[in-house]
Structure 1
Amino acid sequence: MAHTAMSGTGTNPADDPLQTAVWRLRSRGCWVDAAALLEPHAADDPGAALQRAALFVERCLYTEQGWADAEDALRAAEAVAQTDEQRGAAACERGQLAYAATLLKVRDRVDEARSAFGRAAALIAPGAARRAVLDFRRGLMAENLADSPQAARAAYRRAHAGATAHGDALLLSFTWRHLAGLSLREGELKEARHGFAESLRLREELGYLVGTAPALVSLAEAEPEPETKARLREEATRLFRLLGGVPTWLASALPAAA
């Protein structure tokens, strides 16, 4: 099962103290604490409101909790959005929340997800940084809800190109991983190992701790050497325990962690 969430480059290029603090908390799975840092700015800053909503959406994906908080934060972000791009970004987050609820079997919201992503596509300009995130999320829909790997691969490739153009290393870690997943599904082990290894490398470089265990598990799935496979899974289990059993959906892939 494939999961992902909000994209971002990690720490702010200008070393903005607020963004650095938000990233450090987010990367360790402390989404509520990260959102609290943004709350004083969210009432009149559309960017802060959107970022806060995205944190709560990501929390839902990784913990399967906090759905009401995410809905509230999304409504607040939608209320203060001023430009088409901001409205499109909010729609993209709403689509992601509906996708997550459907994927995790909380409630079937697939029609809402498609509608929100369609609205986002109409509002976010081609070539914009957020367009790459939208392309990736539409790829997830195609792969996991529509069972259309060809459409998913095309969307992931568009997202990969956009992430490369905009220097979005975190999004690249997701596109590498999901393209590799499709390669593994088709028996292309060499391509799969390369993509999974690139995803893991990027996440380790960014310090995206909460996403590192899934990357380790994915790489282990494509690893033919039993000892290496076992080592990767052991490291993933250690990180899973360190983070208190997050992401929750990884437990089924790590029986020793249960």
Structure 2
Amino acid sequence: MRNSGLSEPHIEGGDPLERAVWRLRSRACWEDAAALLAPRAAAEAGVALRRTAVLVERCVFTGEGWEAAEDSLRSAEALAIDDEERGAAACERGHLAYAATLLGVRDRADEARAALGRAAALLAPQSPTRPLLDFRRGLIAQHLSDNPSDATAAFQRAHTGATRHGHRLLLSSTWRHVAAMAEHDGRLPDARHGFAESLRIREELGYLVGIAPALASLAAVLPDQAEAARLRAEAGRLVRLLGGVPAWLADRLGRPAPAS
């Protein structure tokens, strides 16, 4: 069960640029979103990191765009001037290396672990990036190390931190992966609750590109097969609407993603 582990969307307040980026990103228009951020990303470390997160998200959902994400990440690393920015950049590098490993592009598991370890050393205990770091360490424990107990503990730390900091998109992901671990352990009522909460948050945020995976995950643990079929059909409709993304879900639903 894959997940992008996304940075928190900047959709609150009055910044029209951030709202525009969020609308594009949530509808799988990552290149357009990155282009909007590019002018400020050339000089501002925080914006450069957000642009990198958008491009890494495209890699996770489509399996494409690795070179652009790597170039953006190097630029963000060069702009970072304090421990918070350096730690956040290391967190993004760890996630990019994890995604490349998970999707079979290249084995970068050691790089992923080292980068997230560097992020942990740089980020202060109360840093708002800490919950995202915990989540991404959970992904590595779950998918690369096959260590369910470490994964569960990391996801629970991330869930607590996301709740404390009000990071709702990240909270939808922690719900999703806590639910996945419950499903792994055979605790299907807990799994249904977690998947339903993840879906609810994504619908409330308007995170369209993340709704289809949430629907498919919930369908897999429902006892009502008619309802499960309805959710899978809705997931397939959304995947088609977005041009075949997430690509891995399109394949699982039997609708191959387009070549480009």
TM-score (norm 1): 0.97
Q: Partner amino acid for 2:196?
A: A
Instruction: Quote the offset at 1:256 in angstroms.
Output: 5.3
Measured against aligned partners, the alpha-carbon deviations of 1:62-109 in whole angstroms (never above 9, x if no partner) come to 110000001100000001111110011001000000000000000000
2:24 equivalent to 1:7: no
Identity %, equivalent residues: 63
**Superposition pairs for residues 1-258 of structure 1, below 5 Å?**
1-9=1-9, 11=11, 13-255=12-254
Q: What is the DSSP-based 3-state SS (H/G/I as helix, E as strand, rest coil) of the residue aligned with 2:91?
A: helix
Q: Mark the CA change 1:119 to 1:180 in structure 2 (over 3 Å): closer, same or farther.
A: same
Instruction: Quote the offset at 1:42 in angstroms.
Output: 1.0
Q: What is the alpha-carbon distance in structure 2 between the residues aligned to residue 195 and residue 171 of structure 1?
A: 13
C-alpha root-mean-square deviation of aligned residues, in Å?
Answer: 1.1
Q: Partner amino acid for 2:250?
A: A
8 Å contact from structure 1 (residues 78, 90) kept in 2: yes
Q: What is the alpha-carbon distance in structure 2 between the residues aligned to residue 47 and residue 66 of structure 1?
A: 21
Q: Partner amino acid for 1:185?
A: H
8 Å contact from structure 1 (residues 237, 257) kept in 2: no
Q: Partner amino acid for 2:70?
A: E
Q: Mark the CA change 1:217 to 1:10 in structure 2 (over 3 Å): closer, same or farther.
A: farther
Q: Partner amino acid for 1:81?
A: A
Q: What is the alpha-carbon distance in structure 2 between the residues aligned to residue 255 and residue 229 of structure 1?
A: 16
TM-score (norm 2): 0.97
Q: What is the DSSP-based 3-state SS (H/G/I as helix, E as strand, rest coil) of the residue aligned with 2:126?
A: coil
Instruction: Quote the offset at 1:253 in angstroms.
Output: 2.5
Measured against aligned partners, the alpha-carbon deviations of 1:126-161 in whole angstroms (never above 9, x if no partner) come to 121100000000000000000001000000000000
8 Å contact from structure 1 (residues 57, 97) kept in 2: yes
Q: Mark the CA change 1:9 to 1:52 in structure 2 (over 3 Å): closer, same or farther.
A: closer
Q: Partner amino acid for 1:6?
A: L
Number of equivalenced pairs: 257
Q: Partner amino acid for 1:3?
A: N
8 Å contact from structure 2 (residues 3, 173) kept in 1: no
Q: Partner amino acid for 2:98?
A: Y
8 Å contact from structure 1 (residues 45, 80) kept in 2: yes
Q: Partner amino acid for 1:223?
A: L
Q: What is the alpha-carbon distance in structure 2 between the residues aligned to residue 15 and residue 180 of structure 1?
A: 34
Query: Unmatched 5+ residue regions in structure 2?
Result: none
Q: Partner amino acid for 2:30?
A: W
